[in-house]
Structure 1
Amino acid sequence: MNHFIKSVKILFILAMVVSSCTQKTGDSEVIIEEESNPKEPISLFDGESLAGWHMDVPDLEADSSLRIPFIIRDGLLVSLGTPEGHLITDKEYKNYTLELDYRFAGEPGNCGILVHASEPRALYDMFPKSIEVQLMHSNAGDFWCIQQDIQVDDMESRRGPKADWGVSEGKERRVRNLTDDSEKPLGEWNHIKITCQDDKITVWLNGDLVNDGYGATAQEGQIALQAEGAEVEFKNIFLMENE
């Protein structure tokens, strides 16, 4: 008898669960499926350490007495600019949106975010094979092709004569952005959003669409931040995996 009562209770509970997920519409019943939880953003920087990243700095490798160019300061990730090199994620990513805030801490200069990074030191014995999203002051949002390629509309007006295009040393690797006035004044934080979906890379700076590329020759890889001469501060580094 006890087993029978337990069985009845279980059936009753199951019936209540099904009933709560069923909604009547006229003479028919519509089963309401529970929505799956949306994916949570992945924090790539914890504000305290460089966990999840590693450095590739050729000069530091040759001379360990040089300063380390990537540090944590006041909860910010800081690229000191020299010695030059890259801070690279340990993991590879595909089909995602990367968002972060950055600003030049002192004098404006050069820096960049590399997506789809793979083979290290593939260009000038320094830059990993990748596509760079430029952060250089006054040129933020440009693409730079580093042994990988990408296309945009109006290619010749934004990249120069087709005969000069290329992805290696001495070639026209720069693809100019779409705007000239999307950066905040020096000292203020800029917000950049980069979406990589299949062979497309789309870039927004402070809410403005600044580049929109397609036909990328790479669709996955690591993400890298540069030390390329100027001191740059970073915060709120998040990645959202796309469907």
Structure 2
Amino acid sequence: MVSADSRLLEPLLSEDLQYSHSTGAVDTKKTFLSLINKKETRYVTYQPLERTVAFASPEIAFVNGRAEIGVQHDGQSLEKTFVFLSVWRLEKDAWRFLRWQSSQLVSAVPVVGDIRVIGESEQKNGWQLLVEGDFENVNGEADTWSWKSGVLSCTGRPVGVTRFHKPLENFELSLQWRHMSSGGNSGVFLWAPSESLLDLPPGKLPRGGIEVQILDHGYTQQYKKKSGRKATWFTTDGDVFAVGTSKMNPFPPLSPNGARSFPNARYSRGSPQWNHYYVRAVNKEVRLWVNGHEVSGGDNCSPSIGYLCLESEGAPVEFKEIYLRELP
């Protein structure tokens, strides 16, 4: 469907296909292929968010979940989030597409879990709201990082970081972030060693630390367009990985090379919506919650003391309600 190549698609379709669109229209195999061949509506991207598979019998499989679908229709591009149910049937030793039913969500907001809200009682228990004076610009320009009304804005240029004013060992971090353009890239560095920041020139990131990645969903499409390859070595929902001289044993699921902890589900919202990260970095272990759901992390981190940094990497990004709690 994404490639709109009916020659490749046709063998995957069952002869008695019923494809029910979110508009209520229903296509058979013949009319569905005709719709694609007309190229009036073209599926250009398909980004699965989460899905489950259940077998009603050895020959019937149900797949349901949620996906972001990019469509071009009458010269206009649309990106929508759908919930879907598809049915596959085993026919002549091959699985073929039998049924599809989808419904467009009113908004692309994922299910929100138990987000840690920092109020007055939490602040009495050691939580500290970080402000401009708590950070030091490491290798950015004077205007790379700026504060206004409690929001920390980053231009994304040059590539680099701003850091908390002192090294940390055991701590919790709660913050909100959002990308201001599709495909934005940023991140949070934990335990970045002092030497990894020493004389760091503009355009460079720390030479060590544990990165909690902050990527907009549009980055996947940009990567594929630029490289011509499918994005398999990263996700846009909260990868955690060691950088440079640092080491970490990532929690599964893992990236193909085993270096990254991939999220176990997809909960990030796309630009320009706000997202919430809760990070717990304690006793050489890192755990990440995205919008209230624990998704990724790792243990046996080395070193496990260093600087907390926010990353500038080529695109505008904003942070707010940055809370830190140091632990014993």
Shorter chain as denominator, the TM-score bin is: 0.5 to 0.7
**Partners of 2:257 and 2:181 in 1: CA distance:** 36
User: 1:70: which partner in 2?
Assistant: 145
Give the structure 1 partner of residue 159 of structure 2: 84
When normalised by structure 1's length, the TM-score is 0.68
Deviations 1:21-53 (A, max 9, x none): xxxxxxxxxxxxxxxx963201222xxxx2121
Once residues 233 and 85 of structure 1 are traced to their aligned partners in structure 2, the CA distance between those partners, rounded to angstroms, is 15
Q: 2:292 aligns with which of 188, 192, 207?
A: 207
DSSP-derived class of the 2:287 partner = strand
Partner of 2:238: 141
- In the alignment, what sits opposite 2:248? 150
Aligned equivalent of 2:128, options 42, 48, 65:
42
What CA deviation, in whole Å up to 9, does each residue of 1:54-81 have, x standing for no partner? 11226x4xxxxxx621111343101110
From 187, 206, 210, the equivalent of 1:131 is: 210
Alpha carbons 2:284, 2:301 under 8 Å: kept: yes
User: Is 1:159 aligned to residue 255 of structure 2?
Assistant: yes
Q: Name which structure has the greater RCO, CA cutoff 8 Å, separation 6+.
A: 1
CA contact (8 A) 2:285 2:300 kept: yes
Does the aligned pair in 1 maintain the 2:279–2:286 contact within 8 Å?
Answer: yes
Match of 1:56 among 102, 126, 138: 138
Structure with the higher fraction of residues in strand conformation:
2
- How far does residue 140 in structure 1 lie from its aligned partner after superposition? 3.3
Return the alpha-carbon distance in structure 2 between the equivalents of residues 188 and 159 of structure 1: 26
CA shift for structure 1 position 149: 1.2
Segments of 5+ residues of structure 2 without an aligned counterpart are: 1-122, 218-235
* SS of match in other structure, 2:161: strand
Alignment-derived partner of residue 191 in structure 1: 276
Q: Rg larger in 1 or in 2?
A: 1
- In structure 2, the residue corresponding to 1:145 is in which secondary structure? strand
Moved over 4 A (4+): none
- Partner deviation per Cα, 1:149-200 (whole Å, 9 max, x = no partner): 111244xx613346xxxxxxxxxxx504224521023222111000011110
The answer on whether the counterparts of 1:113 and 1:226 sit within 8 Å (CA) in structure 2 is: yes
What SS does the aligned partner of 2:311 have?
strand
Does the CA-based 8 Å contact 1:83-1:227 persist in structure 2? yes
* Aligned equivalent of 1:116, options 173, 191, 213: 191
Report the identity percentage.
24
Distance 1:38 1:78, change over 3 A: closer
Question: How far off is 1:86 after superposition?
Answer: 0.5
Helix, strand or coil for the counterpart of 1:51? helix
Q: Over aligned residue pairs, what C-alpha RMSD do you find?
A: 2.5
Secondary structure, aligned partner of 1:150: strand
SS in structure 2 at match of 1:192: strand
Q: Does 1:218 align with 2:303?
A: yes
Q: Residue type of the partner of 2:249?
A: Q
Contact 2:171 2:325 in 1 (8 A): yes
Aligned residues: 183
Deviation at 1:102, TM superposition (A): 0.5
> What letter matches 2:133 in structure 1?
A
**Distance (whole Å) between structure 1 residues aligned to residue 179 and residue 282 of structure 2:** 29
3-state secondary structure, aligned to 1:135: strand
